Chains A and B, each alone.
Chain A
C-alpha cells in the first residue's frame, strides 16, 4: 500500500492541504480571522461536506434528492444529545458514529423502494422523509421539541472540522474514481446500457445515496457541536435547497466545484449579512444570473487535478 500512497500526486496534495491548514490556523491565532469570520469559516466547512456529499448523489449518480437536511438533522441531534450526556471528544466520536448508523438505516429505508424505479421518485420520497424527521424532532422529548436543544458542548475544534472536510472530499473523490463510482456515472449516462454491462443499478444508486447520507450526518454532528444550539427550524426544506444551490452553482458532478461554490457563496452570504433587507434579493439575483449565463455552474464538470497540472508544467518545460 505504501508504494501507491507515496506518489508524487499524493505528496503534492498533502502539501497543499497542510499549507491551507497552517495558513488558516495562523490567521485564527493572530486574530486576523476574528470570531465573526471564524463562524463563517466553520459554516463554509460544514457546507463543503454537505455539498460534496449531495453532489455524489445528484451530480455523479443523477438521483435527485431533496432531503439532505434530514440526514444533517439526524447527525446534529444524535451528536447533540449524546455529547450533552458525555461532554468529551469520546462522546462526540460516539455521537458521530451513532448518527452514521441511524442515517444509514434511514437512507436505506427511503432509497431501496424508490431507487428501484426509474424516474424522480426519490425526490418526492426524500422531501417527505426530511419533513417527517423534522416533525419527529419537533415533537420528541429527548430533542426538546420546538424549543430546541441548548447547552451542547462545543467540541468541534478547528483541526477536527478541517480533518472531517478533508476526509469527506477524499471519500467522494475516491468513490468517483473506482468501480462503484464509475458504475454510478454510467447509470447517470445511460441506465439501460449500464445494466447491460452487468451493473446492478439499484445497488449502486443506493450505495451512493447511503454514503451521501452518512456524510451529511457527519456535517450535522460537527455543526451541532460548534454552534451548540439546535432547533428544528434549521433543518427545513430551505436547508436542503441551500445545499442543492451550492452543488448546482458550482457544477454538477465536480467535487472541486462544490468546494469552490461553498466558499464563494459562504463569503457572499457573510457580506450580505449587513444588508438584511436586500440580502435575499441580491443572493437570488446572483443565482438567477448564474443560471442564465452559465447554467453548467462555475466549473461545469471540470475537476482540479494535480496530475494534469504536473503534465502541463512538464510539457511547458520540454517546449522551452
Chain B
C-alpha cells in the first residue's frame, strides 16, 4: 500500500465557522474511499480544498506521483487538475451551451497538444489532435453508456445521466484520483446499482483511486474499502465498512438518525 494523497491538519474557516477542522487522512493508491457525514458536515468543503476551489486556512495536502511528493494545497484548480485530480460536482455543473460530446471534449484540454496558432491556421497538427480528441471522447462516453446521446444538449439529459456525464467528463481529464460528490443523488435503485458497477469498472480499467461522498449508505457500504466520517467539520471515525457500522460515535452522530 503506497500513499497517494496525504492530508495533514487541514482546516477551513468561513468567518467564525470551522467548516473543516484539523483533518488528517491518508489515501492509498487504488483505494475506493468513502466520505460520509450529516448535511453540513463539511464534506463538499473538504473536496473543494483538495481540488483548489478553496485555499486551506491551515494544513497540508500532499500528492505523491511517480514517487515524488508535492504540496498542492492552495494551488489553482486548473493546476491541481493537471496534476491528476478530477472531480464531479454535487450541484451538477455541466456546460449548458454544449452537447454531451462537447462537454467531454472540453475536459481533454490538457492533452490536446496544439496551441492557438495551430487552431487559427488549422495546421495538420490541429486536425490530428481533433480527431484523437473526438475518438477518445466517444470512448469515455461509451464507458458511461451515453455514446448514443452524444449530440444532445447536456442539460437536456435526465438527472441520472447528467451525473454519469459528469463522471465521463472528469475521466476525460485523465486523472489519477477521482473525486465524486454524491454521484448517486437523485438516482433510482437500479441506476445506483449500475453506478456501483461502473465505478468498480473505471477504477480497474483506468488505475484510479476513487474518493466519493455519498448519502446512500448501501452504496457506500458495498463499494468502499475504507470510510471516513465527518461531523461538524471534524473526523469522528475511520475504518472498514464493518467497523463504521459498529462505531458508536457514528451511530450517534449519523446513522442513528437514519435508522
A: which residues have CB within 8 A of B?
1, 4-5, 171, 174-175, 178-183, 185-186, 188-190, 192-201, 207, 211, 253, 301
Contact yes or no, A201 B78, CB < 8 A: yes
Q: Which of B103-132 contact A (CB under 8 A)?
A: 105-107, 109-110, 112, 114-116, 119-124, 126-127, 129-130
Size of B's binding interface in residues, CB under 8 A? 40
> Contact string, B180-192, partner A, CB cutoff 8 A, digits 1/0?
0000000000000
Q: Which of B79-124 contact A (CB under 8 A)?
A: 81-82, 86-87, 89, 93-98, 102, 105-107, 109-110, 112, 114-116, 119-124
Chain A residues lying within 8 Å of B122, measured Cβ to Cβ, are: 1, 4-5, 174
Contact yes or no, A180 B81, CB < 8 A: no
Closest-by-CB residue of A relative to B169 is: A197
Contact yes or no, A193 B93, CB < 8 A: yes
Contact yes or no, B95 A196, CB < 8 A: no
Contact yes or no, A181 B96, CB < 8 A: no
- Min C-beta distance of B74 to chain A, whole Å: 14
Closest 5 pairs between A and B when the two form their complex, measured CB to CB: A178-B119, A198-B81, A193-B93, A189-B95, A195-B77
Query: Assuming the A-B contacts A198-B82, A198-B110, are A190 and B120 also in contact, with contact meaning beta carbons closer than 8 angstroms in the complex?
Result: no
Among A175, A185, A186, A197, point to the contact of B173 (Cβ < 8 A).
Answer: A197
Contact yes or no, B120 A179, CB < 8 A: no
B: which residues have CB within 8 A of A?
51-53, 76-78, 81-82, 86-87, 89, 93-98, 102, 105-107, 109-110, 112, 114-116, 119-124, 126-127, 129-130, 133, 169, 173
Closest-by-CB residue of A relative to B81 is: A198
Closest-by-CB residue of B relative to A301 is: B97
Contact yes or no, A179 B119, CB < 8 A: yes
Chain A residues lying within 8 Å of B98, measured Cβ to Cβ, are: 182, 185-186, 189
Among B119, B127, B133, point to the contact of A180 (Cβ < 8 A).
Answer: B119
The contact sample of 13 A-B pairs, CB cut-off 8 A, is A5-B122, A175-B119, A175-B120, A180-B116, A182-B102, A182-B109, A189-B98, A190-B93, A194-B95, A195-B81, A198-B81, A198-B173, A200-B76
- Min C-beta distance of A180 to chain B, whole Å: 5
User: In the bound complex, how far is the Cα of B98 from the Cα of A188, in angstroms?
Assistant: 11
